[in-house]
Structure 1
Protein backbone atom coordinates (compact mmCIF):
# COMPACT_ATOMS: atom_id res chain seq x y z
CA UNK A 1 0.00 0.00 0.00
CA UNK A 2 1.24 3.48 -0.85
CA UNK A 3 1.65 5.44 2.37
CA UNK A 4 4.62 7.77 2.02
CA UNK A 5 4.18 8.54 -1.66
CA UNK A 6 1.37 10.57 -3.16
CA UNK A 7 -1.21 8.85 -5.35
CA UNK A 8 -0.66 10.13 -8.89
CA UNK A 9 -4.06 10.77 -10.49
CA UNK A 10 -5.43 11.31 -14.00
CA UNK A 11 -8.92 12.89 -14.24
CA UNK A 12 -11.23 12.56 -17.25
CA UNK A 13 -14.76 13.94 -17.38
CA UNK A 14 -16.69 15.63 -20.22
CA UNK A 15 -17.37 18.69 -18.06
CA UNK A 16 -14.45 21.09 -17.72
CA UNK A 17 -15.86 22.60 -14.51
CA UNK A 18 -15.96 19.18 -12.83
CA UNK A 19 -12.42 18.42 -13.94
CA UNK A 20 -11.03 21.70 -12.63
CA UNK A 21 -12.87 21.46 -9.32
CA UNK A 22 -11.69 17.90 -8.74
CA UNK A 23 -8.14 18.82 -9.66
CA UNK A 24 -8.10 21.73 -7.23
CA UNK A 25 -9.69 19.84 -4.34
CA UNK A 26 -7.66 16.64 -4.75
CA UNK A 27 -4.41 18.59 -4.88
CA UNK A 28 -5.27 20.01 -1.45
CA UNK A 29 -5.08 16.49 -0.03
CA UNK A 30 -1.49 15.57 0.88
CA UNK A 31 -2.16 11.99 -0.24
CA UNK A 32 -2.97 13.01 -3.82
CA UNK A 33 -1.27 14.61 -6.80
CA UNK A 34 -3.18 15.23 -10.04
CA UNK A 35 -0.69 14.69 -12.88
CA UNK A 36 -3.02 15.26 -15.85
CA UNK A 37 -6.61 16.14 -16.78
CA UNK A 38 -8.75 16.00 -19.89
CA UNK A 39 -12.35 16.22 -21.05
CA UNK A 40 -11.77 13.77 -23.92
CA UNK A 41 -11.89 10.00 -23.49
CA UNK A 42 -9.44 9.34 -26.31
CA UNK A 43 -7.00 11.84 -24.82
CA UNK A 44 -7.24 10.04 -21.47
CA UNK A 45 -5.68 6.96 -23.07
CA UNK A 46 -2.77 9.03 -24.37
CA UNK A 47 -2.26 10.69 -20.99
CA UNK A 48 -2.43 7.37 -19.15
CA UNK A 49 0.22 5.98 -21.49
CA UNK A 50 2.41 9.02 -20.95
CA UNK A 51 2.07 9.43 -17.17
CA UNK A 52 1.31 5.87 -15.96
CA UNK A 53 -0.81 7.22 -13.07
CA UNK A 54 -1.68 5.23 -9.96
CA UNK A 55 -5.37 5.99 -10.43
CA UNK A 56 -7.63 7.18 -13.25
CA UNK A 57 -10.89 8.95 -12.36
CA UNK A 58 -13.25 8.47 -15.28
CA UNK A 59 -16.58 10.30 -15.40
CA UNK A 60 -19.61 8.45 -16.78
CA UNK A 61 -21.96 11.42 -16.91
CA UNK A 62 -23.11 11.45 -20.51
CA UNK A 63 -23.05 7.82 -21.72
CA UNK A 64 -20.78 8.65 -24.63
CA UNK A 65 -20.35 5.54 -26.79
CA UNK A 66 -16.58 5.40 -26.14
CA UNK A 67 -16.78 5.79 -22.36
CA UNK A 68 -16.27 2.11 -21.63
CA UNK A 69 -14.12 1.38 -24.65
CA UNK A 70 -11.34 3.48 -23.15
CA UNK A 71 -11.34 1.47 -19.91
CA UNK A 72 -9.83 -1.51 -21.72
CA UNK A 73 -7.46 0.73 -23.63
CA UNK A 74 -6.19 2.37 -20.45
CA UNK A 75 -5.75 -1.02 -18.79
CA UNK A 76 -3.69 -2.12 -21.77
CA UNK A 77 -1.54 1.01 -22.05
CA UNK A 78 -1.11 1.57 -18.30
CA UNK A 79 -1.61 -1.79 -16.53
CA UNK A 80 -0.71 -0.48 -13.07
CA UNK A 81 -3.40 2.23 -13.15
CA UNK A 82 -6.48 1.57 -11.05
CA UNK A 83 -9.66 2.89 -12.69
CA UNK A 84 -12.42 4.50 -10.64
CA UNK A 85 -15.67 5.51 -12.32
CA UNK A 86 -17.73 8.36 -10.94
CA UNK A 87 -21.15 9.63 -11.89
CA UNK A 88 -24.84 9.76 -11.03
CA UNK A 89 -26.91 6.76 -9.91
CA UNK A 90 -26.17 4.41 -12.78
CA UNK A 91 -28.42 1.83 -14.47
CA UNK A 92 -27.63 -1.80 -13.67
CA UNK A 93 -26.08 -2.40 -17.08
CA UNK A 94 -23.53 0.37 -16.50
CA UNK A 95 -22.51 -1.21 -13.20
CA UNK A 96 -22.52 -4.66 -14.76
CA UNK A 97 -20.15 -3.56 -17.49
CA UNK A 98 -17.92 -1.74 -15.02
CA UNK A 99 -17.62 -4.98 -13.03
CA UNK A 100 -16.93 -7.03 -16.16
CA UNK A 101 -14.12 -4.66 -17.11
CA UNK A 102 -12.68 -5.09 -13.61
CA UNK A 103 -12.69 -1.41 -12.72
CA UNK A 104 -11.51 -0.81 -9.17
CA UNK A 105 -14.37 1.32 -7.93
CA UNK A 106 -17.46 3.42 -8.54
CA UNK A 107 -18.24 6.61 -6.62
CA UNK A 108 -21.58 8.39 -6.91
CA UNK A 109 -21.62 12.16 -7.30
CA UNK A 110 -23.94 12.55 -4.30
CA UNK A 111 -21.00 11.49 -2.07
CA UNK A 112 -18.54 13.86 -0.45
CA UNK A 113 -15.13 14.65 -1.90
CA UNK A 114 -13.73 12.71 1.05
CA UNK A 115 -15.32 9.56 -0.37
CA UNK A 116 -13.48 10.12 -3.64
CA UNK A 117 -10.09 10.55 -1.97
CA UNK A 118 -10.80 7.50 0.19
CA UNK A 119 -11.64 5.57 -2.98
CA UNK A 120 -8.37 6.61 -4.60
CA UNK A 121 -6.20 5.58 -1.66
CA UNK A 122 -8.17 2.34 -1.20
CA UNK A 123 -7.83 1.13 -4.79
CA UNK A 124 -4.17 2.11 -5.02
CA UNK A 125 -3.72 0.03 -1.87
CA UNK A 126 -5.15 -3.01 -3.63
CA UNK A 127 -8.77 -2.81 -2.49
CA UNK A 128 -12.02 -2.06 -4.34
CA UNK A 129 -14.30 0.82 -3.42
CA UNK A 130 -18.01 1.20 -4.14
CA UNK A 131 -20.35 3.84 -2.77
CA UNK A 132 -22.75 2.31 -0.20
CA UNK A 133 -25.74 2.81 -2.52
CA UNK A 134 -23.96 0.83 -5.23
CA UNK A 135 -22.66 -1.84 -2.87
CA UNK A 136 -26.29 -2.56 -1.87
CA UNK A 137 -26.92 -3.57 -5.48
CA UNK A 138 -24.00 -5.99 -5.55
CA UNK A 139 -23.15 -9.36 -4.06
CA UNK A 140 -19.72 -10.93 -3.61
CA UNK A 141 -19.01 -14.27 -5.28
CA UNK A 142 -16.45 -16.04 -3.05
CA UNK A 143 -15.67 -18.64 -5.74
CA UNK A 144 -14.73 -16.03 -8.32
CA UNK A 145 -13.58 -13.58 -5.65
CA UNK A 146 -15.44 -10.84 -7.49
CA UNK A 147 -18.43 -8.54 -7.11
CA UNK A 148 -21.49 -9.10 -9.29
CA UNK A 149 -24.96 -7.65 -9.75
CA UNK A 150 -27.66 -9.00 -7.41
CA UNK A 151 -30.22 -8.74 -10.23
CA UNK A 152 -28.51 -8.88 -13.64
CA UNK A 153 -29.87 -6.75 -16.47
CA UNK A 154 -31.35 -8.43 -19.53
CA UNK A 155 -28.27 -7.11 -21.32
CA UNK A 156 -26.06 -9.29 -19.11
CA UNK A 157 -26.38 -12.06 -21.72
CA UNK A 158 -24.32 -9.97 -24.16
CA UNK A 159 -20.54 -10.05 -24.35
CA UNK A 160 -18.50 -6.89 -23.80
CA UNK A 161 -17.93 -6.60 -27.56
CA UNK A 162 -21.64 -6.98 -28.25
CA UNK A 163 -22.40 -4.26 -25.70
CA UNK A 164 -19.92 -1.97 -27.47
CA UNK A 165 -21.57 -2.65 -30.83
CA UNK A 166 -25.07 -2.19 -29.40
CA UNK A 167 -24.15 1.10 -27.73
CA UNK A 168 -22.72 2.50 -30.97
CA UNK A 169 -25.65 1.31 -33.08
CA UNK A 170 -28.10 2.78 -30.55
CA UNK A 171 -26.25 6.10 -30.84
CA UNK A 172 -27.19 6.08 -34.54
CA UNK A 173 -23.92 4.92 -36.06
CA UNK A 174 -24.05 2.80 -39.21
CA UNK A 175 -22.49 -0.65 -39.44
CA UNK A 176 -19.66 0.89 -41.46
CA UNK A 177 -19.03 3.56 -38.79
CA UNK A 178 -19.09 0.99 -35.99
CA UNK A 179 -16.66 -1.21 -37.89
CA UNK A 180 -14.28 1.70 -38.42
CA UNK A 181 -14.50 2.84 -34.80
CA UNK A 182 -13.90 -0.63 -33.35
CA UNK A 183 -11.35 -1.69 -36.01
CA UNK A 184 -13.55 -4.57 -37.13
CA UNK A 185 -14.79 -5.71 -40.52
CA UNK A 186 -18.33 -4.77 -41.53
CA UNK A 187 -19.08 -8.49 -41.77
CA UNK A 188 -18.01 -8.94 -38.15
CA UNK A 189 -20.20 -6.05 -36.96
CA UNK A 190 -23.15 -7.44 -38.92
CA UNK A 191 -22.58 -10.79 -37.23
CA UNK A 192 -22.53 -9.14 -33.79
CA UNK A 193 -25.71 -7.22 -34.63
CA UNK A 194 -27.48 -10.43 -35.66
CA UNK A 195 -26.45 -12.23 -32.44
CA UNK A 196 -27.50 -9.24 -30.31
CA UNK A 197 -30.94 -9.06 -31.89
CA UNK A 198 -31.33 -12.82 -31.64
CA UNK A 199 -30.41 -12.92 -27.93
CA UNK A 200 -32.75 -10.04 -27.12
CA UNK A 201 -35.53 -11.22 -29.46
CA UNK A 202 -35.55 -7.84 -31.21
CA UNK A 203 -36.27 -7.54 -34.91
CA UNK A 204 -35.27 -4.04 -36.09
CA UNK A 205 -32.83 -1.25 -35.26
CA UNK A 206 -35.48 1.18 -34.03
CA UNK A 207 -36.66 -1.34 -31.46
CA UNK A 208 -33.02 -2.07 -30.60
CA UNK A 209 -32.29 1.62 -29.94
CA UNK A 210 -35.42 1.96 -27.79
CA UNK A 211 -34.39 -1.09 -25.78
CA UNK A 212 -30.86 0.29 -25.21
CA UNK A 213 -32.34 3.58 -23.95
CA UNK A 214 -34.86 1.82 -21.70
CA UNK A 215 -32.11 -0.33 -20.17
CA UNK A 216 -29.92 2.72 -19.57
CA UNK A 217 -27.15 1.69 -21.96
CA UNK A 218 -27.44 5.05 -23.76
CA UNK A 219 -29.12 8.36 -22.95
CA UNK A 220 -32.30 9.41 -24.82
Structure 2
Protein backbone atom coordinates (compact mmCIF):
# COMPACT_ATOMS: atom_id res chain seq x y z
CA UNK A 1 0.00 0.00 0.00
CA UNK A 2 1.20 3.51 -0.85
CA UNK A 3 1.16 5.87 2.14
CA UNK A 4 1.56 9.64 2.65
CA UNK A 5 2.45 10.95 6.12
CA UNK A 6 1.35 14.45 7.18
CA UNK A 7 2.59 15.92 10.48
CA UNK A 8 3.99 19.34 11.39
CA UNK A 9 6.94 17.79 13.26
CA UNK A 10 9.75 16.48 11.06
CA UNK A 11 10.92 14.06 13.74
CA UNK A 12 7.44 12.51 13.91
CA UNK A 13 7.32 12.11 10.12
CA UNK A 14 10.74 10.45 10.21
CA UNK A 15 9.70 8.16 13.06
CA UNK A 16 6.60 6.92 11.28
CA UNK A 17 8.58 6.48 8.06
CA UNK A 18 11.13 4.29 9.82
CA UNK A 19 8.38 2.08 11.26
CA UNK A 20 6.74 1.59 7.86
CA UNK A 21 10.06 1.13 6.05
CA UNK A 22 10.43 -2.37 7.47
CA UNK A 23 6.95 -3.50 6.37
CA UNK A 24 6.96 -5.47 3.13
CA UNK A 25 3.43 -4.42 2.23
CA UNK A 26 3.89 -0.67 2.86
CA UNK A 27 5.68 2.15 1.04
CA UNK A 28 5.90 5.81 2.09
CA UNK A 29 5.53 7.85 -1.11
CA UNK A 30 5.23 11.37 0.31
CA UNK A 31 5.63 13.57 3.38
CA UNK A 32 3.73 16.75 4.29
CA UNK A 33 3.93 19.37 7.05
CA UNK A 34 0.31 20.59 6.98
CA UNK A 35 -3.07 20.06 5.37
CA UNK A 36 -2.24 21.97 2.20
CA UNK A 37 0.90 19.93 1.57
CA UNK A 38 -1.06 16.77 2.40
CA UNK A 39 -3.59 17.66 -0.30
CA UNK A 40 -0.76 18.27 -2.78
CA UNK A 41 0.92 14.95 -1.94
CA UNK A 42 -2.37 13.07 -2.35
CA UNK A 43 -2.97 14.79 -5.69
CA UNK A 44 0.55 13.86 -6.85
CA UNK A 45 0.85 10.28 -5.60
CA UNK A 46 -2.78 9.06 -5.31
CA UNK A 47 -1.86 7.04 -2.19
CA UNK A 48 -3.96 4.26 -0.71
CA UNK A 49 -3.76 5.83 2.74
CA UNK A 50 -3.00 9.27 4.16
CA UNK A 51 -1.76 9.26 7.77
CA UNK A 52 -2.54 12.75 9.06
CA UNK A 53 -2.08 14.70 12.27
CA UNK A 54 -5.19 16.57 13.37
CA UNK A 55 -3.54 19.83 14.48
CA UNK A 56 -0.70 21.25 12.39
CA UNK A 57 -0.20 24.93 13.28
CA UNK A 58 0.32 27.34 11.65
CA UNK A 59 -0.69 25.44 8.51
CA UNK A 60 -4.04 23.97 7.53
CA UNK A 61 -5.45 21.53 10.06
CA UNK A 62 -6.15 17.86 9.49
CA UNK A 63 -9.83 18.43 10.21
CA UNK A 64 -10.23 20.85 7.31
CA UNK A 65 -7.91 18.92 4.99
CA UNK A 66 -9.81 15.67 5.57
CA UNK A 67 -13.01 17.07 4.11
CA UNK A 68 -11.26 18.57 1.08
CA UNK A 69 -9.23 15.47 0.29
CA UNK A 70 -12.16 13.06 0.65
CA UNK A 71 -14.24 15.28 -1.59
CA UNK A 72 -11.64 15.37 -4.39
CA UNK A 73 -9.85 12.03 -3.84
CA UNK A 74 -12.42 9.67 -2.30
CA UNK A 75 -10.31 6.57 -3.02
CA UNK A 76 -7.60 7.69 -0.59
CA UNK A 77 -8.40 6.48 2.91
CA UNK A 78 -7.44 8.75 5.82
CA UNK A 79 -6.10 7.66 9.20
CA UNK A 80 -6.04 10.48 11.77
CA UNK A 81 -3.20 10.32 14.30
CA UNK A 82 -3.45 12.74 17.19
CA UNK A 83 -2.75 13.42 20.85
CA UNK A 84 -6.40 14.47 21.33
CA UNK A 85 -8.54 11.78 22.96
CA UNK A 86 -11.52 14.11 22.65
CA UNK A 87 -14.73 12.64 21.27
CA UNK A 88 -15.71 15.89 19.53
CA UNK A 89 -12.60 15.61 17.34
CA UNK A 90 -13.45 11.97 16.65
CA UNK A 91 -17.00 12.73 15.53
CA UNK A 92 -15.96 15.60 13.25
CA UNK A 93 -13.20 13.72 11.40
CA UNK A 94 -15.43 10.68 10.89
CA UNK A 95 -18.18 12.89 9.50
CA UNK A 96 -15.59 14.50 7.21
CA UNK A 97 -14.68 11.10 5.77
CA UNK A 98 -11.79 9.70 7.84
CA UNK A 99 -11.53 5.90 7.99
CA UNK A 100 -9.61 5.74 11.25
CA UNK A 101 -8.69 7.61 14.42
CA UNK A 102 -5.89 6.64 16.78
CA UNK A 103 -3.66 8.24 19.38
CA UNK A 104 0.02 8.95 18.72
CA UNK A 105 1.05 7.27 21.96
CA UNK A 106 -0.33 3.93 20.76
CA UNK A 107 2.21 1.11 20.20
CA UNK A 108 3.68 0.48 16.74
CA UNK A 109 1.70 -2.75 16.42
CA UNK A 110 -1.56 -0.83 16.73
CA UNK A 111 -0.53 1.60 13.99
CA UNK A 112 0.25 -1.27 11.62
CA UNK A 113 -3.04 -2.97 12.49
CA UNK A 114 -4.93 0.27 11.85
CA UNK A 115 -3.29 0.75 8.43
CA UNK A 116 -3.99 -2.81 7.32
CA UNK A 117 -7.57 -2.65 8.60
CA UNK A 118 -8.25 0.57 6.70
CA UNK A 119 -6.55 -0.69 3.55
CA UNK A 120 -8.88 -3.69 3.39
CA UNK A 121 -11.95 -1.46 3.66
CA UNK A 122 -12.48 -1.46 7.41
CA UNK A 123 -12.61 1.35 9.95
CA UNK A 124 -10.21 1.58 12.87
CA UNK A 125 -10.98 3.52 16.04
CA UNK A 126 -8.67 3.56 19.06
CA UNK A 127 -10.37 1.25 21.64
CA UNK A 128 -10.69 4.04 24.21
CA UNK A 129 -12.40 6.30 21.66
CA UNK A 130 -14.58 3.50 20.28
CA UNK A 131 -16.30 3.32 23.66
CA UNK A 132 -17.13 7.04 23.42
CA UNK A 133 -18.45 6.56 19.90
CA UNK A 134 -20.81 3.76 20.94
CA UNK A 135 -21.98 5.79 23.94
CA UNK A 136 -22.74 8.78 21.72
CA UNK A 137 -24.76 6.70 19.27
CA UNK A 138 -26.78 5.22 22.13
CA UNK A 139 -27.35 8.70 23.56
CA UNK A 140 -28.56 10.01 20.19
CA UNK A 141 -30.84 7.02 19.74
CA UNK A 142 -32.40 7.57 23.17
CA UNK A 143 -32.81 11.33 23.04
CA UNK A 144 -33.08 11.92 19.32
CA UNK A 145 -30.23 13.49 17.38
CA UNK A 146 -30.03 17.19 18.10
CA UNK A 147 -28.17 18.93 15.30
CA UNK A 148 -25.02 20.81 16.26
CA UNK A 149 -24.94 24.22 14.51
CA UNK A 150 -21.24 23.54 13.80
CA UNK A 151 -22.34 20.90 11.28
CA UNK A 152 -24.07 23.62 9.25
CA UNK A 153 -20.79 25.43 8.58
CA UNK A 154 -19.12 24.99 5.22
CA UNK A 155 -15.46 23.98 4.94
CA UNK A 156 -14.49 27.58 4.16
CA UNK A 157 -16.51 28.90 7.11
CA UNK A 158 -14.65 26.45 9.38
CA UNK A 159 -11.41 28.00 8.10
CA UNK A 160 -12.63 31.56 8.67
CA UNK A 161 -14.10 31.03 12.15
CA UNK A 162 -10.84 30.46 14.11
CA UNK A 163 -9.16 33.37 12.31
CA UNK A 164 -11.96 35.69 13.41
CA UNK A 165 -11.70 34.33 16.95
CA UNK A 166 -7.93 34.97 16.96
CA UNK A 167 -8.58 38.63 16.20
CA UNK A 168 -7.56 38.84 12.55
CA UNK A 169 -9.23 41.58 10.54
CA UNK A 170 -11.16 40.96 7.32
CA UNK A 171 -8.23 42.05 5.14
CA UNK A 172 -5.78 39.77 6.98
CA UNK A 173 -8.14 36.80 6.69
CA UNK A 174 -8.64 37.52 2.99
CA UNK A 175 -4.86 37.52 2.43
CA UNK A 176 -4.36 34.28 4.39
CA UNK A 177 -7.09 32.41 2.50
CA UNK A 178 -6.55 34.08 -0.90
CA UNK A 179 -10.12 35.34 -1.12
CA UNK A 180 -11.64 38.82 -1.32
CA UNK A 181 -12.56 40.97 1.67
CA UNK A 182 -16.20 40.88 0.55
CA UNK A 183 -16.12 37.10 0.58
CA UNK A 184 -14.70 37.14 4.10
CA UNK A 185 -17.47 39.49 5.21
CA UNK A 186 -20.07 37.18 3.65
CA UNK A 187 -18.61 34.13 5.40
CA UNK A 188 -18.47 36.05 8.67
CA UNK A 189 -22.13 37.01 8.41
CA UNK A 190 -23.12 33.42 7.61
CA UNK A 191 -21.14 32.07 10.56
CA UNK A 192 -22.80 34.50 12.98
CA UNK A 193 -26.20 33.65 11.52
CA UNK A 194 -25.77 29.88 11.61
CA UNK A 195 -24.38 29.88 15.15
CA UNK A 196 -26.89 32.48 16.34
CA UNK A 197 -24.22 34.88 17.65
CA UNK A 198 -24.51 38.63 18.02
CA UNK A 199 -20.94 39.52 19.02
CA UNK A 200 -17.30 38.45 18.58
CA UNK A 201 -16.88 37.47 22.28
CA UNK A 202 -19.58 34.84 21.79
CA UNK A 203 -17.72 33.51 18.77
CA UNK A 204 -14.38 33.47 20.66
CA UNK A 205 -15.96 31.55 23.54
CA UNK A 206 -17.45 29.06 21.07
CA UNK A 207 -14.10 28.61 19.28
CA UNK A 208 -12.39 27.93 22.60
CA UNK A 209 -15.05 25.39 23.58
CA UNK A 210 -14.68 23.62 20.25
CA UNK A 211 -10.85 23.80 20.50
CA UNK A 212 -10.75 25.47 17.09
CA UNK A 213 -7.98 27.90 18.07
CA UNK A 214 -5.49 25.04 17.82
CA UNK A 215 -6.15 24.79 14.09
Q: Please name the residue that 1:128 is paired with.
A: 123
The CA deviation at 1:48 is 1.2
Which of 39, 42, 46 lines up with 2:40 in the alignment?
46
Corresponding residue number in structure 2 for 1:99: 94
Which has more strand, going by share of residues? 1
TM-score scaled to structure 2, two decimals?
0.80
Whole-angstrom CA distance in 2 between matches of 1:152 and 1:117: 36
* Match of residue 114, structure 1, among 89, 95, 109: 109
Aligned to 1:17: 11
Deviation at 1:47, TM superposition (A): 1.5
Q: How much has 1:83 moved relative to structure 2?
A: 0.8
Tell me what 1:81 maps to.
76
**Structure 2 gap ranges (5+):** 138-143
**Unmatched runs of 5 consecutive residues or more in structure 1:** 1-6, 142-149
Superposed CA RMSD: 2.9
The answer (yes or no) to whether the contact 1:96–1:156 under 8 Å persists in 2 is no
187-196 or 109-118, which deviates more: 187-196
Task: Looking at secondary structure, tell me which structure has more helix per residue.
Answer: 2
Give yes or no for contact 2:34–2:56 (8 Å, CA) kept in 1.
no
Superposition TM-score, scaled by structure 1 size = 0.78
Q: How many residues align?
A: 206
Tell me if structure 1 keeps the 8 A contact 2:70–2:96. no
The counterpart of 2:164, out of the listed 163, 169, 176, is 169
Which structure is higher in RCO with an 8 Å CA cutoff and minimum separation 6?
Answer: 1
Q: Report the Cα offset of residue 17 of structure 1.
A: 0.6
Partner of 2:141: none
Contact 2:8–2:57 (CA<8 Å) still a contact in 1? no
